[in-house]
Amino acid sequence: MLYLDNAATTPVRPEVVEAMAPYLTHWFGNPSSHHTVGEAAAGALEDARARVARVVGMRPGDIVFTSGGTEADNLAVKGIAIAAREHRAAHHVVTSPIEHEAILESVDFLRRIHGFAVTMLPVDHDGRIDPADVARALREDTALVAVGYANNEVGTVQDVTAIAAVTGARRIPLHLDAVQAAGWLPLAGTGADSLAIAGHKIGAPKGTGVLVVRGRVPLEPLFHGGGQERGRRSGTEDVAGAVALATALELAEAERVAGSERARATRDRFIAGVRTRVPEARLTGHPAERLPGIASFVFPGTSGEAILLELERRGVVSSSGSACAAGSDEPSHVLLAMGFAPEVAQTAVRFSFPHHPDLDADGLADQVAAAVRAVRSAP
Q: Which residues are catalytic?
A: 324
Burial-class residue 220 by CB neighbours within 10 Å (0-12, 13-18, 19+).
Answer: middle
Closest by Cα among 349, 273, 325, 283 to 125: 283
Phi and psi at residue 290, to the nearest 5°? -140, 160
Using CB atoms within 10 Å of the CB of residue 161, give its burial: 0 to 12 exposed, 13 to 18 middle, 19+ buried: middle
Determine the distance from the C-alpha atom of residue 115 to the mean position of all C-alpha atoms in its chain, rounded to a whole number. 27
Buried b (16+ CB within 10 A) or exposed e, 201-217: bbbbbebbbbbbbeeeb
Amino acid, single-letter form, for residue 294: I
Residue spans of alpha helices (H) in 288-360: 304-313, 333-337, 342-345
Q: How far apart are CA 238 and CA 65, in angstroms?
A: 8
Count of helices and strands (H, E) across the chain: 11, 12
